[in-house]
């Protein structure tokens, strides 16, 4: 019966492992960036799921604000600066904020008031912002944005365009933390495998 001899070439194994190890940070950075850009798109899709007719700017509000490198393994996805305040209310909720309820033809095709709707009509002839004064019908009219009807904007001929509602609380609608956690857990491992395999094929 022949002897079975076990041996090893430890220096060769160490060199091989060292060659593999040096590609791990780069592969990780590539995978993080790939997942970050995919997550940006996923968050845009989530606005269409959780919001009622979100505008195109809202759907495209997310940015990759930091890209990972092999020396700094962090990638970041965040809303554009102009969208931070609005989206924070949708993500974490808010308490006691006033709201404006649009009426009739004042809304756009997304079901919202156009940007700057109130300010543009505050000093515009034929409109006024506030609560109508006097008696009669004005006693029951709420505060809001009104249009004066008729050639001379006759007394009492008013059309309510937007009503100032009482302060209300908003429940969170967009679970970004859960969406990001699920997306990263599902997509980072295969993204790393692809990046690492590509680095191994191209190694020198």
134 versus 17: which is more confidently predicted? 134
Which residues, other chains included, contact 101 with Cβ-Cβ below 8 Å and sequence gap of 6+?
Answer: 162, 163, 164, 165
The average pLDDT across 20-45 equals: 90
Whether the pLDDT of residue 181 is over 70: the answer is: yes
Using the CB atoms, write b or e for 8-39: b if 16+ within 10 Å: eeeeeeeeeeeeeeebeebbbbbbbbbbbebb
Interval 21-50 mean pLDDT? 90
Q: Regarding predicted confidence, which is higher, 11 or 62? A: 62
Looking at the predicted structure, is the pLDDT value of residue 84 above 60? yes
What is d(CA 131, CA 149) in angstroms, rounded to the nearest whole number? 16
| 89-93, 161-165, 175-179: segment of lowest average pLDDT | 89-93
- pLDDT the model gives residue 5: 44
Give residue 188's pLDDT: 92
Residue 15 pLDDT > 70 = no
Quote the mean pLDDT of the chain. 77
């Amino acid at each position: 019966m022949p002897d079975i001899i076990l041996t090893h070439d430890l220096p060769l194994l160490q060199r091989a492992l060292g060659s593999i190890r040096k590609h791990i940070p780069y592969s990780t950075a590539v995978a993080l960036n790939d997942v970050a850009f995919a997550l940006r798109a996923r968050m845009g899709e989530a606005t269409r799921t959780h919001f009622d007719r979100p505008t195109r700017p809202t759907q495209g509000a997310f940015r990759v604000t930091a890209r990972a490198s092999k020396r700094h393994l962090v990638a970041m996805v965040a809303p554009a600066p102009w969208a931070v305040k609005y989206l924070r209310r949708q993500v974490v909720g808010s308490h006691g904020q006033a709201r404006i309820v649009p009426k009739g033809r004042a809304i756009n095709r997304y079901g919202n008031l156009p940007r700057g709707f109130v300010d543009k009509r505050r000093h515009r002839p034929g409109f006024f912002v506030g609560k109508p004064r006097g008696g009669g019908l004005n006693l029951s009219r709420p505060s809001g944005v009104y249009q004066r009807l008729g050639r001379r904007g006759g007394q009492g001929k008013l059309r309510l365009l937007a009503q100032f509602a009482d302060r209300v609380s908003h429940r969170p609608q967009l679970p970004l933390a859960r969406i990001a956690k699920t997306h990263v857990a599902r997509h980072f491992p295969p993204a790393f495998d692809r990046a690492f395999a590509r680095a191994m094929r191209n190694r020198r």
